[in-house]
Amino acid sequence: MDKILIYNSNEKIFIEKEYNQTAGNNNSVTEMFQSNRWINPNTPKNDLFIFDTPLFTTVGGVTNYYGQEVNSVFTNIARPFICFTFTANTGSLSADTTLIQHNIYRIDYNTYLNNISKLEAEISKEKRFKTSTIEKKTITAPNGEKNTTITEKEIEEIQKEEDYQTDKFYKGRDVSNVDNKFQAIIDLLEKPILTITAHTNTITSSEYNLFLEEYFKNLNSYKQQLFLDKSQYFITTNFRFIRNQGGEYNDFYKFNENDNILYPYDFQNEFIEETPVYTQTITAGTFSGVTVKGNFFTYFLIPNKPIFQKPIIENQLTTYSPTFFFDNVDDGDEYLLQVNYVSGDSQTFSGTVYTYVFSKEETMLNKDEIISVGEEDWETAKKRSSVTRKISASLKPNKQFWYRIGNKKIITNLFGVKQSVVSFSDIKTAITSQNPLSLYVGVESDSPYVEDIVGLQTPDYLDLEIETFSLSGIVSGSIVTGATLQIIAQNGNYITQTTNTTGFYNFTELESGDYTLKTFYRGYQQDTRSITITGNTSLSFKLKLLWGNDVDTWGKMANENYYL
């Protein structure tokens, strides 16, 4: 009587079986009787043990690669970590029998930029080549005559088609050559810069925190900095179960359920089973076709805090459009001016906030402004290593307002999603001009058809106030309190507001025109709508739940197709 051990890899169980072995002489009655004593191989004698893969959710890093997720951005303010919350099958996590392995992959910002620049250079070269060959093409006219003369319209149509084909190849819609285009990125995603292994005897509750230090050192290597500004990271997690079989077995088989066959298997006294790692192939954007895996985040060194410079805007002003001077922001990519007019929001900017967006180029001082710095301030200005910048905005007349400047770092990541971090200056207050607006139109007399010398006049339309309108309504899921709404004008400036306890919102003083309305609330899908304002407008709508929402069960799921 002998024993065999069979491993079912699909159900992750071991089955122990006994069988009788004969001498091979089946002609004798004894041997034939002995041969008929085989135990039914489909009937296990006993289950030795079962592997249950733990179920968990994570906070820190995301697998929703294409969404706008707060947890997809880490900064140097706090030590980055990922928190695992186990929800089921934690009985498998017994001390000294299970390991959790994390592989950390990094795409540093310089490599990322170089790869993007290389692609753009190839696109430009391809377009230049195609443009130079357009005029050499022969066009056959409807009458059959061949003509090498191409009209500008025909060139434009051909160029559009060439541009489309170029974009089709280089923008990732055709992924047949993905290895050649993105090899530098793929190499970084295949080889981890750091591997961490943790024993489960360190887990004392349903939560497990993975802390990552700023520096790391691999064996036979120098110490390196793990976190680099604007670099992108993936962290994979898999569980490794280690069990000792015990006992003595003559044979060891692995059962394949697909063909119901037992295959000989090398006996392992210490059996190891590893869980698979979450993988996904990018399906859109420049890097379409690249395979990624694990939790993703982008790391930022927080941008410098803006510092106001003279003249500082405060107290009573004589203008409606003040100019703000500031510096210490050279590490930023763009700048924000945020204004609110409600004293209760003066420190939190949590109510209705007007945001004006400025590029770096828009904020540069011209030569005259630099030269006109006073003698006393000039000596100070020369010693400054940072460049002084300026922004201007038209504000509401005769209003007290609170303002702050934001220094913003931005990256468009591997998935085509824009991510950013903002540092704000101190908050200051001032009052716009109390004087009424005086504006005149000059009618010149240099026309030969004008006899009278006409001076400055006030046209009739200036006596009319600019008409503004409101946009209001209720946002609901089942009940949504404190959702953030953002209405964006065509020039890129925007106003943000939060809903009250009933989900009500109200934007006022909106001029007629086209706007984009975006609504954000945790656990719900972002809602985006195009709005045309021509009068006071009422708009109420429901948000759709995300699948990960385990709190609000009354709303519609994000994949349910319904429109209001």
pLDDT tens-digit map of 175-184: 444 556 788 8
Q: Is the pLDDT of residue 276 over 70?
A: yes
CA distance 49 to 54: 15
Token output for 510:
């909106």
Residue 562 has pLDDT above 80, yes or no: no
pLDDT at site 544: 84
- pTM recorded for the entire structure: 0.69
The H-or-E segment that residue 120 falls in is helix 109-134
What residue ranges define each of the domains in the chain, with the CATH number in brackets? 2-50 (no CATH), 55-107+191-300 (no CATH), 111-184 (no CATH), 307-431 (2.60.40), 466-557 (2.60.40.10)
d(CA 418, CA 468): 32
- For 424-460, write each residue's pLDDT tens digit: 999 999 999 887 666 677 766 666 666 665 677 777 7
Say if residue 317's pLDDT is above 60.
yes
User: 375 versus 88: which is more confidently predicted?
Assistant: 88
Q: How far apart are CA 308 and CA 427, in angstroms?
A: 10
Given a contact cutoff of 8 angstroms between Cβ atoms, the answer to whether 329 and 407 are in contact is yes
Q: What is the pLDDT of residue 115?
A: 81
Instruction: State the DSSP H helix or E strand holding residue 545, giving kind and residue range, or none if neither.
Output: strand 544-545
User: Once rounded to an integer, what is the mean pLDDT over residues 154-169?
Assistant: 52
